[in-house]
Structure 1
Amino acid sequence: MVHNQTLEEKTTASLVYSFVPKQPDHLQNYTCATKSDLAQYSMERTVQLFIYMPPKVLISLNKTLGIAKGEDLTLFCNYSSNHEVKYLKWDKMFQHKNPLDERSKYLNIKSINRQHAGKYRCTVTNLAGRASDIVTIQVYYPPTVNVIFEDRGSYKQLNCLANGLPDRYIFTRWEHRSDCYDLIRYLPDDGSGRLILANTKGETDRHHDRGLYICHASNKVSLNSSNSFIRGEFSLKAQGKPYFVSSNNNTQYGIKGQDGNLTVDFVSFPEITNFTVIDGDMKHYTDNYTLETWRVMDKVYNKTVMVNGSRLVISMNIRNENDFRSYTIKLSNRFGSANFNISLRSASCPETPEIMMIMPNENKVTVHWRESFNGGFPQSVFIQYRRRDVQYWNEIPVSDPGMHSDYIDGLTPGTEYLIRVYSKNIKGASNFTDMKLIRTESAEDSDNETLVFLVFVAPFLIAIGVLYWQYKMGNLRALERISCFKRQQFIYQVGVGAVENNVYEMQNNADQQAVAQNAVAQNLDVPVYSSIDRRANLTIGQTVSYSTTPKRKRNYLEKCQENTGNDIVASVGEASGTVSSATKKGPDRLSYIEVSFEPKPNEYKFHIHGSENRTNYVDIDFSKNISSYVDSHTESDDDSTPQACAMLKYEE
């Protein structure tokens, strides 16, 4: 009986109950009871059933376990057994270099790695049998990322390949960086780790696609709590003809008289084979240069970055201002060539100007100067002055340097001043010119000049005005008598009406005529012109005189036309001499004029104006000298006989 329930019953002397015990039968009480008619009581015996059962083993309900690489792994072998376990064993279902602990319910692995991944089994054995459980361990690790490049002709393709566990990946945008690792741009990813590079005109030609391309992939496995995105990169080595980087300066500077350089930065893959410097139409091949690898600055896809390139430095000697001009540098490699233009300019202080003239007045000094080389920049001119007995300089800026003259006002009459000039530009100032010592005019000097003008010049100007008035009134007879041309026009020079010198014959005082003429010639620097009249015998000034023959044989070859007379003009500065004319009786009985001047040292040269245009029948003999000739002219004004014409001109 079990729990007062009869399982089997017999009337025989013995009873055997046979069954296959099950787990619920474990520790059940089985009672065997007897009953007899002879006895008033029953006998029974109870036994407890102990069943030896195989163990039960469980490692995890989830048969696949994932763990990140580098973490510690602990597995627990959870088993049950109603009697003593003979042994417990952990084993890995493929070869492992380290033996596992077979006696502990716990399996501990420190800093698990990818070699620890696999299936683990726990086996428990007792008297009734054995049992085991299996679990799969996946070691998660971030992916390894590689970039593969493909040239598809019309475009380029980059593939970001990731390999990790789990094998589900997330890709971010691509990075394009220069060889010097400066960020150029971000490029979008299509979600599969693929990048398409289209050919961009103006950029790809300069192989701006060159550089590092970086992709990032993640399977959400991080190491030591770091970023789970793993990078992969590819270095694109684009090649092509050389190009000059954007950081080059088309305008470069040097200093006259010193050594200078023409410097260019460029990128060339492969390396350049030669270079040429072109100056105008001339080509110069020079060995005086340096070429070295250089980190250069360039603008790539609108981003200024540092790239790997080269620097070419060409040395030159700047000898003069003509070296500041344009130069063309040409680079070549096996793919082609490129040109770059450089304008070399000066960058120095201006050179010292030169004082040309200083004109002092009573209260003002006018300074004239000449500018020198401006150093390459616009320059300003400054005038400094001081009294000779004062140590401090006064300075005035020139209001208009282009005029090359300016004045200093407010000076003291009759005082000595020192004057110097210098110029300045944005680079600095030039040296000072040499100091010039001048003295302003005194008030007495100014009064003397006024007196000279009133005494000598004013009467002469009045006489000119009267003569011109007579001419306007039609009173031409006087003019015809003192001119070889009957209607010769007045001559005007530098604002002063200078007429034929024979007008002085109309004055009462010959000395006053000479003084007036000399005053004009010397003080006013006005050329005075004289017409030689064959019918007159006059004195020009104080020392110059002439006379002409009153009678000669008519020669129709030497007619003087009223409109185109052949004049012989003599130009004299302040020289003194004697002019005389006479008629020589030759075979053709032609008249000629002899001009002679007494030697007097001066800085002016004597010229005979018109001698180079004389006709073939006119001869001037400078070796003859006739002191005087009697004027016996009796011809009338209407005489048609050709006249011998000459004109003397006094000029500086």
Structure 2
Amino acid sequence: MKLECQEKHSEIRNGEIHVYAWFFNRNVYENNTNVITFNKIKSERSGKYTCVARNKAGFDSDAVNIIVTYPPIVWTKDITFNGINRPRIIKCNVSGVPNTYNITWRHYTNNNQLVRVFNNRINGVLILPEGETNDLVFEDSGVYRCNVTNGIPDESGNLWQSKKIQVKVEGKPVLAKPLKSTFIGHFNETSSISLFVLSSSNVTQAEWKAAENRNSLGHGCCSSTVNKTSFNGKCLDMSGYTCVFLIKNTREEDFQNYTVDLINKNGRNTFDISLISSGVPEVPSITDIYQRQNYIVLEWKPTFDGGAPQGFIVQYRKKKDKNWESIRIQSNETNDFVYISKLKPDTEYELRMLAFNRLGNSSFTVQFTTLFKGETKDVWTQFNLFLCIPIVLPVCLFVFLLWYRKVLHDGIVTMTKVWLLDTISIFLVTEMTYIPR
């Protein structure tokens, strides 16, 4: 960029200009020529430039304001909240010309998974949504990326400038979502209670107690791990701690309520846990039975699996039969419906089902009765048979007779053609009188 100071008239009446002086924002700018050249314009060059010219007759001056546009410069700093901070405010500092910005925020987990997006922020201040205090102890933690544009690209052509903020929430340990407080144990086997815990610092201790008498059952350490959990309504991989309590040779009295105290440097949190015995699954719930072409569809909703992988058995029979036909659905199949085929049309069928696991079977559901009608006829075909023929044929016959009379009147038909036309007329009349039953 070049600034040039020159006289207004081509001829100077009072002699040549002997001295040039420049001022930048009222400060002397070191240059005694009539031209200032900027090889690389920078934002700090913005301001008021004044040129003063002097000769033996006196002096004159002129000024110009230079505005240098430049992309946003973004700076941030990491922040730590405690468990009770409300509201939680994160700030993104920005400078740029023009100073009108479009700012978006993106929240990531510490494992770089996108959690949520906040759009159309203008002033660089993000106020995090508030909910229940206990729910938001750690769900606001993670990495926040502030993305800013003012429409001016940088030297690489990028319109958006970005900086990240590490947000940490200090607080007592909490159980990850979805909260699980009931665990399944197995009689005479090793039963396990495993908790996934979110914490801002190492969970230094887990103390297990029997809920009834508060007797201590032992202390255990928690190991750091990554697990899937519900975080701001999404299922994400989160860093946390797994705390495990093992009960070997589980006896009947071990199926009871427990408490666990989880401890980190911010304090202690206590949670109630129950261990229940595994057993046979509960009866599944049949939700719908309907017919599709040449088969019946039965849909159901699984219920409690008894603490072990479950499968299902669907049975059906003709209403008057004694013996049942069975369809076995393996526990590794995920579809909660089954197709029942090879059925006899216009026949009533009875249906029922049960669930099973390695410990046994549930009871059967109630029996359902449904009429299998068989494969349905095409509606358009029925329409042709019962409606089209009686209507269309008389119309065709009427048009044909009109044409036939015209041909006879014109006298241009040979005897062979007349015989052929008579035959067609008889056929049409015969067809018109036929109506399918």
With normalisation by structure 1, the TM-score equals 0.33
Structure richer in strand, relative to its length: 2
With normalisation by structure 2, the TM-score equals 0.47
- Structure ID, larger Rg: 1
Q: Which fold has the larger relative contact order, with Cα–Cα distance below 8 Å and residues 6 or more apart in sequence?
A: 2
